[in-house]
Structure 1
Amino acid sequence: MAQLRVHLSKSEPTAYKALDAFSREVGRIARDNGVDDRLKELVLLHCSQLNGCAYCARIHSDRALAAGITYDDLAQLPVWRESGVFSERERAALELAEAHTFIHRAGIPDDVYDRVGAVLSESEYLGVSWLSVSINAFNRVVIAGKYPVPPREGDESAPAGQA
């Protein structure tokens, strides 16, 4: 039987509320710096995918669909480098989001900084960077707590016996 995990957001709600407030402020910063909902959700979902955070991936898949991102776009997101469905701006944001997610490997390498900076404005760079920092923090809280992601009721795409 799996051992129950400490639930960080319930065990220290003031810290979680501060993280939530930080996330809301980051959303405002991103919006004010020219990052639209489509780009925001692509960044948040991709970071969650890279971190293996199923809980956040579900949340941001739903929000992505609400922001007008298509099912095809969602399917292409993990392979964005090989796909032609994303704009140059989206590709730059995804590359920056990956650099932030894997920052422990090499920081933000100069070639990434230069490539992304040639496409995104400084304001957009700031917005995407703060979104990446925020979602990476949330991913760590959720992954550490092993938040469950059960099948949805009535999900016809689930294998037989799984819905």
Structure 2
Amino acid sequence: MSHARSEYEDFKRIAPDAYELVLALGQVAAKAGLDKQLLELVKLRASQINGCAFCLQHHILLSERIGVPLDKLNLVVVWREVPIFSARERAALAWTEALTCLPGGVGEDVYAEASREFSETELTYLTSAVTSINVWNRFGAAFRWTPAKRPVAANAATS
């Protein structure tokens, strides 16, 4: 079992300027009007690839709060294998994987698919969202931030 080297709160305390910059970058895509559920799927997928338990749990909980369907949360890891994701979501997830796993670069087919589904402005902001979660993942995975615990339901103690 791994242990935290430091925590999310430590990052805010130790490097508040870096924290604020990464936080701001993560917010611009939603402020630009990209669908928040789509952005959460992107953040989940990048966090899965990067092995960031803190970010994965954070975005699962946030996705649940904003109404991302449970089937999508459960199956985003195998999004290519199931028909529940829209063409737009598929393009965003492929774009996310290409940007997160850069050694092979971003292929023309992935770029073409993303360009069909997103305007130039939307694709630029989607790229900022993918970039942001990858930055967060680097901090969370490097320092092994402890994932948040799921709140216990009020009636859970009686079952």
On whether the aligned pair clears a TM of 0.5, the verdict is yes
Residues 1:12 and 1:44: Cα distance change in structure 2 (over 3 Å): closer
CA distance in 2, matches of 1:146, 1:90: 29
Richer in helix (by share): 2
Specify every segment of 5 or more residues in structure 1 that has no aligned partner in the other structure, as ranges: 156-163
Letter in 2 for 1:61: I
Choose from 106, 119, 122 the match for 1:121. 119
SS state at 1:69 partner: coil
1:5 Cα deviation after fit: 2.7
- Contact map agreement 2:94 2:110 (CA 8 A) in 1: yes
5-14 or 145-154: which moved more? Answer: 5-14
> Offset at 1:122?
1.1
The number of equivalent residue pairs is 153
- CA deviation map 1:15-74 (0-9, x unaligned): 3x3343234433442124331111111111111111111111110001111121021111
Structure 2 gap ranges (5+): 154-159
Partner residue in 1 for 2:157: none
Provide the identity percentage: 34
Partner residue, 1:10: 10
Q: Aligned residue for 1:80? A: 79
Provide the C-alpha distance between the structure 1 equivalents of 2:134 and 2:28, rounded to a whole number of angstroms: 17
Change (3 A) 1:25 1:153: closer
Distance 1:6 1:23, change over 3 A: closer
**Structure 1 runs, 4 residues or longer, greater than 3 Å off:** 1-4, 6-9, 11-15, 149-155
- What is the aligned partner in structure 1 of residue 156 from structure 2? none
Alignment of 1:48-63 (within 5 A): 48-63=47-62
Q: CA RMSD in A?
A: 2.6
Q: Which amino acid aligns with 1:97?
A: T
Is contact 1:33-1:126 (8 Å) kept?
no
Q: Could you tell me which residue of structure 2 aligns to residue 158 of structure 1?
A: none
Higher relative CO (CA 8 A, sep ≥ 6), structure 1 or 2?
2
How far apart are residue 3 of structure 1 and its match? 7.6
Query: Do the aligned partners of residues 2 and 64 (structure 1) sit closer, same or farther apart at CA in structure 2, a change above 3 Å counting?
Result: closer
TM-score (norm 1): 0.80
Please report the TM-score for the alignment, with normalisation by the length of structure 2.
0.82
Q: 1:94: which partner in 2?
A: 93
Q: Secondary structure at the match of 1:84?
A: coil
Equivalent residue number for residue 70 of structure 2: 71
Q: Which amino acid aligns with 1:90?
A: E
